[in-house]
Amino acid sequence: MITNVNELSDYFLQEIKQIPQVKKMKGRGLMVGVEFDFEIAELRKKLIYDKHIFTGGAMNKNLLRILPPLTVKKEHIDTFMNALKEILN
């Protein structure tokens, strides 16, 4: 399971860094905070209601918390990334 987490964490970080609106990344492994250059309240609403993807919020209004289960698979990350890119475009 730890090997899976390490591999998918690296994959996720490579993918998320390709999004121009991402200002910086925080966290370790798959427990990640993604800071955008805008407030993410509307983004979170669209992810939840339109794409059925739940993410966490934070005190920082620009920070999106990603907390997937340790059993997450590459296709789940791809689903999230596709939904995020679609909403941002």
pLDDT tens digits along 31-87:
999 999 999 999 999 999 999 999 998 999 999 999 998 889 999 999 999 999 999
Find where tokens 């999230």 sit: 80
Stated pTM of the model: 0.89
CA distance 6 to 38: 29
pLDDT at 67: 92
Q: Hey, where are the domains in the chain?
A: 2-88
Sequence letter at residue 24: K
pLDDT at 6: 86
Q: Which two tokens stand for residue 84?
A: 């995020």
Homologous superfamily in CATH for domain 2-88? Aspartate Aminotransferase, domain 1 (3.90.1150.10)
CA distance 29 to 2: 9
Q: Which DSSP string corresponds to 15-43? A: HHTT-TTEEEEEEETTEEEEEESS--HHH
